[in-house]
Amino acid sequence: MERKMNRKERAKQERENRRHNISLLRTIPYPDHQKWWSSETVALVTGANRGIGFEIARQLLLQGVTVILTSRGTEVGEAAAKVLWETGLKVVFRQLDVTSTSSVQTCADWVQQNYGGLDILINNAGVNFNASSENSVEFAEQVIATNYIGTKNMIKALTPLMRPSAAGARIVNVSSRLGRLNGRRNRIGDVSLREPLECVDSLTEEVIDRTVDAFLEQVKDGSWATGGWPQTFTDYSISKLAVNAYTRLMAEKLSDRPEGKKIYINCCCPGWVKTAMTGWEGNISAEEGADTAVWLAFLPDQSVSGKFFAERREINF
Ligand SMILES: NC(=O)c1ccc[n+]([C@@H]2O[C@H](COP(=O)([O-])OP(=O)(O)OC[C@H]3O[C@@H](n4cnc5c(N)ncnc54)[C@H](OP(=O)(O)O)[C@@H]3O)[C@@H](O)[C@H]2O)c1
Protein backbone atom coordinates (compact mmCIF):
# COMPACT_ATOMS: atom_id res chain seq x y z
CA MET A 1 0.00 0.00 0.00
CA GLU A 2 1.25 3.49 -0.82
CA ARG A 3 2.43 5.46 2.21
CA LYS A 4 0.75 8.86 2.77
CA MET A 5 3.11 11.84 2.46
CA ASN A 6 3.73 13.87 5.62
CA ARG A 7 3.45 17.69 5.62
CA LYS A 8 7.11 18.26 4.87
CA GLU A 9 7.12 15.81 1.98
CA ARG A 10 3.91 17.34 0.60
CA ALA A 11 5.40 20.84 0.77
CA LYS A 12 8.54 19.59 -1.01
CA GLN A 13 6.44 17.93 -3.68
CA GLU A 14 4.39 21.12 -4.16
CA ARG A 15 7.57 23.19 -4.51
CA GLU A 16 8.93 20.77 -7.11
CA ASN A 17 5.64 20.88 -9.06
CA ARG A 18 5.67 24.67 -8.88
CA ARG A 19 9.23 24.84 -10.21
CA HIS A 20 8.39 22.39 -12.96
CA ASN A 21 5.38 24.50 -14.01
CA ILE A 22 7.51 27.65 -14.00
CA SER A 23 10.14 26.00 -16.19
CA LEU A 24 7.34 25.24 -18.67
CA LEU A 25 6.03 28.81 -18.44
CA ARG A 26 9.51 30.08 -19.29
CA THR A 27 9.32 28.34 -22.66
CA ILE A 28 6.09 30.14 -23.65
CA PRO A 29 6.76 33.37 -25.53
CA TYR A 30 5.10 36.54 -24.20
CA PRO A 31 2.14 37.43 -26.45
CA ASP A 32 2.77 40.59 -28.47
CA HIS A 33 0.03 42.56 -26.70
CA GLN A 34 1.78 42.00 -23.35
CA LYS A 35 5.18 43.12 -24.54
CA TRP A 36 5.65 46.65 -23.28
CA TRP A 37 9.38 46.49 -24.13
CA SER A 38 11.49 46.62 -27.30
CA SER A 39 15.17 46.70 -28.29
CA GLU A 40 15.15 50.36 -27.14
CA THR A 41 14.37 49.22 -23.58
CA VAL A 42 17.55 49.43 -21.51
CA ALA A 43 18.27 47.09 -18.59
CA LEU A 44 21.28 47.04 -16.26
CA VAL A 45 22.27 44.05 -14.11
CA THR A 46 24.84 44.23 -11.29
CA GLY A 47 27.19 41.34 -10.47
CA ALA A 48 26.39 39.74 -13.82
CA ASN A 49 29.72 38.10 -14.66
CA ARG A 50 28.53 34.81 -13.17
CA GLY A 51 25.79 32.95 -11.33
CA ILE A 52 22.27 34.30 -11.09
CA GLY A 53 23.24 37.76 -12.40
CA PHE A 54 24.69 36.28 -15.60
CA GLU A 55 21.52 34.25 -16.10
CA ILE A 56 19.31 37.29 -15.47
CA ALA A 57 21.26 39.17 -18.15
CA ARG A 58 20.92 36.23 -20.55
CA GLN A 59 17.17 35.86 -20.00
CA LEU A 60 16.62 39.60 -20.41
CA LEU A 61 18.59 39.49 -23.68
CA LEU A 62 16.46 36.60 -24.94
CA GLN A 63 13.44 38.92 -24.72
CA GLY A 64 15.18 41.40 -27.02
CA VAL A 65 15.96 44.29 -24.67
CA THR A 66 19.31 46.08 -24.53
CA VAL A 67 21.27 44.72 -21.58
CA ILE A 68 24.22 46.29 -19.79
CA LEU A 69 26.06 43.47 -18.04
CA THR A 70 28.12 44.94 -15.22
CA SER A 71 30.81 43.36 -13.11
CA ARG A 72 33.40 44.64 -10.62
CA GLY A 73 36.19 42.82 -12.47
CA THR A 74 36.81 43.93 -16.05
CA GLU A 75 38.40 40.69 -17.26
CA VAL A 76 35.69 38.39 -15.89
CA GLY A 77 32.97 40.75 -17.10
CA GLU A 78 34.38 40.87 -20.63
CA ALA A 79 34.73 37.09 -20.62
CA ALA A 80 31.07 36.70 -19.57
CA ALA A 81 29.96 39.14 -22.28
CA LYS A 82 31.99 37.16 -24.84
CA VAL A 83 30.14 33.96 -23.89
CA LEU A 84 26.84 35.72 -24.61
CA TRP A 85 28.10 37.24 -27.88
CA GLU A 86 29.15 33.77 -29.02
CA THR A 87 25.52 32.66 -28.72
CA GLY A 88 24.35 35.70 -30.73
CA LEU A 89 23.28 37.80 -27.72
CA LYS A 90 24.69 41.30 -28.17
CA VAL A 91 25.26 42.36 -24.61
CA VAL A 92 27.04 45.56 -23.55
CA PHE A 93 29.69 45.31 -20.83
CA ARG A 94 30.49 47.97 -18.23
CA GLN A 95 32.72 47.77 -15.15
CA LEU A 96 30.90 48.55 -11.90
CA ASP A 97 31.71 48.04 -8.23
CA VAL A 98 28.52 48.69 -6.28
CA THR A 99 30.41 49.46 -3.06
CA SER A 100 32.22 52.41 -4.66
CA THR A 101 30.08 55.55 -4.94
CA SER A 102 32.44 56.95 -7.59
CA SER A 103 32.20 53.74 -9.67
CA VAL A 104 28.39 53.84 -9.34
CA GLN A 105 28.23 57.54 -10.32
CA THR A 106 30.61 57.05 -13.27
CA CYS A 107 28.40 54.20 -14.49
CA ALA A 108 25.22 56.26 -14.03
CA ASP A 109 26.76 59.17 -16.00
CA TRP A 110 27.79 56.76 -18.76
CA VAL A 111 24.26 55.29 -18.93
CA GLN A 112 22.81 58.79 -19.16
CA GLN A 113 25.24 59.86 -21.91
CA ASN A 114 24.92 56.68 -23.97
CA TYR A 115 21.27 55.74 -23.53
CA GLY A 116 19.58 58.81 -22.10
CA GLY A 117 18.28 56.74 -19.18
CA LEU A 118 17.34 53.30 -17.93
CA ASP A 119 14.13 51.22 -17.88
CA ILE A 120 15.07 48.17 -15.81
CA LEU A 121 17.56 47.98 -12.94
CA ILE A 122 18.38 44.60 -11.41
CA ASN A 123 20.37 44.82 -8.18
CA ASN A 124 21.84 41.35 -8.01
CA ALA A 125 25.46 41.82 -6.79
CA GLY A 126 25.98 40.17 -3.43
CA VAL A 127 28.42 38.36 -1.17
CA ASN A 128 28.18 35.75 1.57
CA PHE A 129 31.23 34.32 3.31
CA ASN A 130 29.62 31.55 5.34
CA ALA A 131 29.06 27.96 4.24
CA SER A 132 26.78 25.25 5.64
CA SER A 133 26.50 25.65 9.43
CA GLU A 134 29.26 28.28 9.81
CA ASN A 135 28.24 31.62 11.24
CA SER A 136 31.30 33.85 11.23
CA VAL A 137 30.90 37.63 11.13
CA GLU A 138 34.50 38.23 10.13
CA PHE A 139 33.38 39.91 6.90
CA ALA A 140 30.20 41.52 8.26
CA GLU A 141 31.19 45.02 7.09
CA GLN A 142 31.82 43.86 3.53
CA VAL A 143 28.57 41.88 3.50
CA ILE A 144 26.53 44.92 4.61
CA ALA A 145 28.51 47.27 2.34
CA THR A 146 27.88 45.12 -0.75
CA ASN A 147 24.41 43.69 -0.22
CA TYR A 148 22.66 46.61 1.46
CA ILE A 149 24.72 49.79 0.92
CA GLY A 150 25.63 48.70 -2.64
CA THR A 151 21.95 48.23 -3.50
CA LYS A 152 21.17 51.63 -1.97
CA ASN A 153 24.03 53.27 -3.90
CA MET A 154 22.59 51.92 -7.14
CA ILE A 155 19.02 52.96 -6.39
CA LYS A 156 20.05 56.47 -5.35
CA ALA A 157 22.23 57.04 -8.43
CA LEU A 158 20.00 55.32 -11.01
CA THR A 159 16.46 56.18 -9.90
CA PRO A 160 16.76 59.75 -11.28
CA LEU A 161 17.65 58.17 -14.64
CA MET A 162 14.65 55.84 -14.82
CA ARG A 163 12.82 56.80 -18.00
CA PRO A 164 9.17 57.79 -18.11
CA SER A 165 7.01 55.20 -19.85
CA ALA A 166 3.41 54.01 -19.92
CA ALA A 167 4.43 50.63 -18.49
CA GLY A 168 6.58 52.16 -15.76
CA ALA A 169 10.25 51.60 -15.02
CA ARG A 170 11.22 48.62 -12.87
CA ILE A 171 13.72 47.98 -10.11
CA VAL A 172 14.24 44.42 -8.85
CA ASN A 173 16.37 43.70 -5.81
CA VAL A 174 17.68 40.14 -5.58
CA SER A 175 17.33 39.38 -1.89
CA SER A 176 16.85 36.24 0.21
CA ARG A 177 14.25 34.52 2.36
CA LEU A 178 16.93 34.59 5.07
CA GLY A 179 16.16 38.30 5.36
CA ARG A 180 12.50 37.78 6.25
CA LEU A 181 11.36 39.67 9.32
CA ASN A 182 8.86 37.00 10.21
CA GLY A 183 10.41 33.86 8.81
CA ARG A 184 9.67 30.96 11.14
CA ARG A 185 13.27 29.94 11.68
CA ASN A 186 15.47 32.95 11.19
CA ARG A 187 13.61 35.97 12.54
CA ILE A 188 15.08 38.76 14.66
CA GLY A 189 14.33 37.54 18.16
CA ASP A 190 14.55 40.97 19.79
CA VAL A 191 11.13 42.65 19.32
CA SER A 192 12.58 46.13 19.88
CA LEU A 193 14.82 45.58 16.84
CA ARG A 194 12.15 43.89 14.73
CA GLU A 195 9.14 46.11 15.33
CA PRO A 196 10.46 49.37 13.84
CA LEU A 197 11.16 47.51 10.59
CA GLU A 198 7.71 45.92 10.44
CA CYS A 199 5.58 49.02 10.05
CA VAL A 200 5.88 50.54 6.56
CA ASP A 201 4.27 53.81 7.69
CA SER A 202 6.99 54.58 10.23
CA LEU A 203 9.84 53.03 8.25
CA THR A 204 12.67 55.41 7.37
CA GLU A 205 16.19 55.02 5.99
CA GLU A 206 17.48 56.06 9.43
CA VAL A 207 15.56 53.20 11.09
CA ILE A 208 17.10 50.66 8.69
CA ASP A 209 20.60 52.14 9.00
CA ARG A 210 20.31 52.25 12.78
CA THR A 211 19.48 48.53 12.87
CA VAL A 212 22.40 47.65 10.62
CA ASP A 213 24.77 49.94 12.56
CA ALA A 214 23.65 48.43 15.88
CA PHE A 215 24.61 45.00 14.55
CA LEU A 216 27.99 46.19 13.23
CA GLU A 217 28.72 47.86 16.61
CA GLN A 218 28.01 44.55 18.34
CA VAL A 219 30.29 42.75 15.89
CA LYS A 220 33.05 45.18 16.92
CA ASP A 221 32.53 44.74 20.66
CA GLY A 222 31.93 40.98 20.36
CA SER A 223 28.38 40.98 21.80
CA TRP A 224 26.46 40.19 18.58
CA ALA A 225 25.94 36.46 19.32
CA THR A 226 23.53 37.26 22.17
CA GLY A 227 22.02 40.35 20.53
CA GLY A 228 18.80 38.67 19.36
CA TRP A 229 19.79 38.67 15.68
CA PRO A 230 18.92 35.93 13.15
CA GLN A 231 20.79 32.72 13.95
CA THR A 232 21.68 31.59 10.44
CA PHE A 233 24.26 33.50 8.37
CA THR A 234 23.65 36.46 10.67
CA ASP A 235 25.52 39.17 8.74
CA TYR A 236 24.05 38.06 5.39
CA SER A 237 20.51 37.76 6.83
CA ILE A 238 20.71 41.30 8.26
CA SER A 239 22.00 42.68 4.95
CA LYS A 240 19.05 41.12 3.08
CA LEU A 241 16.58 42.15 5.77
CA ALA A 242 17.82 45.71 5.19
CA VAL A 243 17.42 45.30 1.40
CA ASN A 244 13.84 44.12 1.91
CA ALA A 245 13.01 47.01 4.23
CA TYR A 246 14.63 49.50 1.83
CA THR A 247 12.55 48.04 -1.04
CA ARG A 248 9.34 48.72 0.90
CA LEU A 249 10.52 52.19 1.88
CA MET A 250 11.43 53.14 -1.70
CA ALA A 251 8.13 51.76 -3.03
CA GLU A 252 6.34 54.05 -0.62
CA LYS A 253 8.50 57.05 -1.59
CA LEU A 254 8.00 56.42 -5.31
CA SER A 255 4.28 55.68 -5.03
CA ASP A 256 3.08 59.24 -5.64
CA ARG A 257 4.75 59.60 -9.03
CA PRO A 258 2.20 60.44 -11.74
CA GLU A 259 1.03 57.99 -14.43
CA GLY A 260 3.63 57.77 -17.17
CA LYS A 261 6.45 58.33 -14.68
CA LYS A 262 5.88 55.33 -12.42
CA ILE A 263 8.79 53.35 -11.01
CA TYR A 264 7.93 49.95 -9.52
CA ILE A 265 10.34 48.35 -7.09
CA ASN A 266 10.15 44.83 -5.69
CA CYS A 267 12.48 42.25 -4.20
CA CYS A 268 12.73 38.51 -4.64
CA CYS A 269 14.39 35.38 -3.35
CA PRO A 270 15.92 33.21 -6.08
CA GLY A 271 15.75 30.02 -4.00
CA TRP A 272 18.75 27.90 -3.04
CA VAL A 273 20.80 28.02 -6.20
CA LYS A 274 23.82 26.09 -7.49
CA THR A 275 26.29 28.98 -7.78
CA ALA A 276 29.70 29.89 -6.36
CA MET A 277 27.91 31.48 -3.40
CA THR A 278 26.53 28.13 -2.22
CA GLY A 279 29.59 26.16 -3.34
CA TRP A 280 27.27 24.78 -6.06
CA GLU A 281 25.27 23.06 -3.33
CA GLY A 282 21.85 24.56 -4.12
CA ASN A 283 18.90 22.52 -5.32
CA ILE A 284 18.10 24.57 -8.43
CA SER A 285 20.08 25.86 -11.43
CA ALA A 286 21.06 29.49 -12.00
CA GLU A 287 18.54 29.50 -14.87
CA GLU A 288 15.74 28.67 -12.43
CA GLY A 289 17.16 31.06 -9.81
CA ALA A 290 17.05 33.97 -12.26
CA ASP A 291 13.43 33.35 -13.20
CA THR A 292 11.47 35.44 -10.67
CA ALA A 293 13.70 38.52 -11.07
CA VAL A 294 13.22 38.43 -14.86
CA TRP A 295 9.49 37.74 -14.53
CA LEU A 296 9.18 40.79 -12.24
CA ALA A 297 11.14 42.95 -14.66
CA PHE A 298 8.77 42.08 -17.51
CA LEU A 299 5.42 41.93 -15.67
CA PRO A 300 2.79 43.22 -18.08
CA ASP A 301 0.56 45.97 -16.64
CA GLN A 302 2.66 46.02 -13.52
CA SER A 303 1.25 48.03 -10.70
CA VAL A 304 2.72 45.91 -7.95
CA SER A 305 5.40 47.61 -5.87
CA GLY A 306 7.09 47.15 -2.50
CA LYS A 307 6.46 43.38 -2.43
CA PHE A 308 8.60 40.29 -1.90
CA PHE A 309 8.42 37.36 -4.34
CA ALA A 310 9.72 33.81 -4.75
CA GLU A 311 8.86 31.32 -7.50
CA ARG A 312 6.66 33.99 -9.17
CA ARG A 313 4.47 34.34 -6.06
CA GLU A 314 4.25 36.99 -3.39
CA ILE A 315 5.65 35.91 -0.01
CA ASN A 316 5.67 37.61 3.38
CA PHE A 317 8.46 39.96 4.43
N1 LIG B 1 22.82 31.26 -4.64
C2 LIG B 1 21.79 31.27 -3.79
O3 LIG B 1 21.32 30.21 -3.34
C4 LIG B 1 21.16 32.57 -3.38
C5 LIG B 1 20.07 32.52 -2.48
C6 LIG B 1 19.44 33.71 -2.11
C7 LIG B 1 19.90 34.90 -2.63
N8 LIG B 1 20.97 34.93 -3.47
C9 LIG B 1 21.42 36.24 -3.98
O10 LIG B 1 21.52 36.20 -5.38
C11 LIG B 1 22.50 37.16 -5.83
C12 LIG B 1 23.47 36.48 -6.77
O13 LIG B 1 24.15 35.45 -6.08
P14 LIG B 1 24.83 34.19 -6.77
O15 LIG B 1 24.31 33.00 -6.09
O16 LIG B 1 24.75 34.31 -8.24
O17 LIG B 1 26.33 34.38 -6.26
P18 LIG B 1 27.72 34.53 -7.03
O19 LIG B 1 27.84 33.51 -8.10
O20 LIG B 1 28.73 34.57 -5.94
O21 LIG B 1 27.60 35.93 -7.73
C22 LIG B 1 27.63 37.12 -7.00
C23 LIG B 1 27.97 38.23 -7.97
O24 LIG B 1 28.03 39.47 -7.24
C25 LIG B 1 29.24 40.10 -7.62
N26 LIG B 1 29.74 41.08 -6.65
C27 LIG B 1 30.19 40.86 -5.40
N28 LIG B 1 30.59 42.02 -4.87
C29 LIG B 1 30.40 42.99 -5.80
C30 LIG B 1 30.63 44.38 -5.86
N31 LIG B 1 31.17 45.04 -4.83
N32 LIG B 1 30.28 45.06 -6.98
C33 LIG B 1 29.73 44.41 -8.04
N34 LIG B 1 29.53 43.09 -8.06
C35 LIG B 1 29.86 42.39 -6.95
C36 LIG B 1 30.22 38.97 -7.84
O37 LIG B 1 31.36 39.43 -8.53
P38 LIG B 1 32.78 38.66 -8.42
O39 LIG B 1 32.73 37.54 -9.40
O40 LIG B 1 33.76 39.74 -8.75
O41 LIG B 1 32.91 38.17 -7.01
C42 LIG B 1 29.35 38.03 -8.63
O43 LIG B 1 29.26 38.43 -9.96
C44 LIG B 1 23.15 37.69 -4.56
O45 LIG B 1 22.57 38.93 -4.22
C46 LIG B 1 22.80 36.65 -3.52
O47 LIG B 1 22.80 37.17 -2.21
C48 LIG B 1 21.61 33.80 -3.86
| Series of mean pLDDT values for 10-residue runs along the chain (317 residues) | 78 91 94 96 98 98 98 98 98 98 98 98 98 94 98 98 97 97 82 89 95 97 94 96 98 96 98 96 96 97 90 95
Ligand 1 geometric centre to CA of 174 (Å) = 9
Question: Given this model, what pLDDT does residue 251 score?
Answer: 97
Active site residues: 236
Is residue 170 within 6 Å of ligand 1 at its C-beta?
Answer: no
The verdict on the CB of residue 129 being under 6 Å from ligand 1 is no
Q: How confident is the model at residue 303, as a pLDDT?
A: 82
Ligand 1 midpoint to CA 52 (Å): 7
Residues with Cβ within 8 Å of residue 9, at least 6 apart in sequence:
none
pTM equals 0.97
| pLDDT value of residue 189 | 84
Q: How far is the CA of 127 from the centre of ligand 1 (A)?
A: 5
- Measured CA to CA, the distance from residue 125 to residue 276 in angstroms comes to 13
- Which ligand 1 atom is nearest residue 127's CA? 27
Cα dihedral 182, 185, 189, 193 sign: negative
pLDDT at res. 193: 86
Reply yes or no on domain 36-177+241-315 having CATH 3.40.50.720.
yes
Task: For ligand 1, atom 2, name the residue with the nearest CA.
Answer: 273
3-state helix vs strand vs coil in the chain, percent to 5? 50, 15, 40
pLDDT of residue 60: 98
CA angle 219–220–224, rounded 5-degree value: 25
Running DSSP on this structure, what letter comes out for residue 255?
A: T
The contacts of residue 186 (CB under 8 Å, 6+ apart) are: 178, 180, 230, 231, 232, 237
